[in-house]
Chain A
């Protein structure tokens, strides 16, 4: 019995030892067992400021236009035409070259000046004078020429003396007349010469050929011109301003609360000038002409619209100054608001000028060589208004290569979480189309078509006061997710803006209004 019991015990202990060895577990390479785990992690976030967005949407194809952020962060769009500059010298010419034969020892001639201008003072900044004499007498003559109306530092001009034998000639050589002043009487200038025979008698040298005695001007340029200004009409500018604020082919209703067209004239012409509005109107989306009518212009008896530009007064000693004339056309004095509701595409304007339009004979005016009229018209849109389904498009490259470590073999499903935190007074509906490398759509983010991506922030007095959070969950099965991940190379975003309260109330867009767009992902993954 006992040996049998010992045997049983021995078997028992052997069994226990065997069990011990069986229960040894080495977890150096331990792995988790089969399961479906749910992992969540962030993908990306970005903050888009309204100012940046506007710059891109509205400004990228309109070189020369500007977006101005006002001190209160409101945003003004300026669509500007070219600056039309007319220098006075372009319109009002002055004698440059002239030859004046002297049939007598004193001649008075009319110097050609600007049309309609009775010149009385000219300050020369460049030019030359040339006197010549051929002695047609039998005696030697001595003498000089002078031009008492031309002075320098108060000293009348006079040539050097000449002595010319019979049949011989003399010339003064080229005389520089820069910095000389001409004091004329209604454009008239007198030239004289004094010739004496050896016995002291003053004589007149016969001008037999018509060119034996004379004076010539060359390259005269004035720095200042003063006189009585007459009535003269001339062309100032004609230009076109592109103002298409909808850069896309998408439709949308845009209402700008207070559009303006501003006309600024910078004038340093020293005489009255009238701007005549020859044409001012918009071109609509379908090419139709829409005249811009305004009560801000005066109207002549013949129906011409005009505005008299401010100018520096000679009588007030305002030589060299520039005077400004600003003309604002807005919804209080024009039909511009109505025009902008139809989303015009361009503004065309043509302005001519008339000097001394009232033909006042007592008008004393002036010009300097720098005098000019600069005229600029611009369309000014304070971004305050409303839009409804205003469209915009953007294509953003995509790169999912960084997600290559996500082993899709075990993925059962993914769920994207798209979050917007919107600080703008705008709702955005939209759709994102995933495109392959050739630009062909391979899928879209929202299976049911465009969705609300973000909701307008709360609005008070037209201004966004807080943020509104909008969440979208986009579920995809593994196959769809894999397809997008492997084929999508860009995202074509088609979005539609509608301002607060479905575009029924005007809102103000502030440059620092911003929206945060971010996305996370949950992946249900089977681990085996």
Chain B
């Protein structure tokens, strides 16, 4: 039997840790993806993800259900990402670039996609990642929440604590920077864009 988030939250608040584990199972991938895209480091994203659920579990008695459980989780995760970015700014660590991940290569290599296509796709993905890293944190987060988590402008505004118009501006500016970067690297030629 599948329970809704609200039902699982209620059971968790009643002391049923297994219900909370079901919530973790349901939300750990999106939270990890969010953390990875915001901070760009696999290991740290995993730590942020773990810490998000730990904090949520601790704060569960204070969760009043005014927002969706997922929004609440996203907010915790974003706060943790923000802390992480702040720490990195204070004490920047030399980071090795993360290349093609084997797990994905192995998992993604299907019978229809050749290794060349896969590598090319990975290179494109890396280029997008590189371009995203150029954006200021607010713009990057707005784009991530919109593009990969399908949030509405209003949800993003609530999450980021800013007016709706600011969210739209952040999205526009972020997309414009990305567009220029991709054009510069030959992935998005103006001619191509016009034709499509």
Query: Real complex partners, A and B?
Result: no
Residues of B within 8 A of A (CB): none
Residues of A within 8 A of B (CB): none
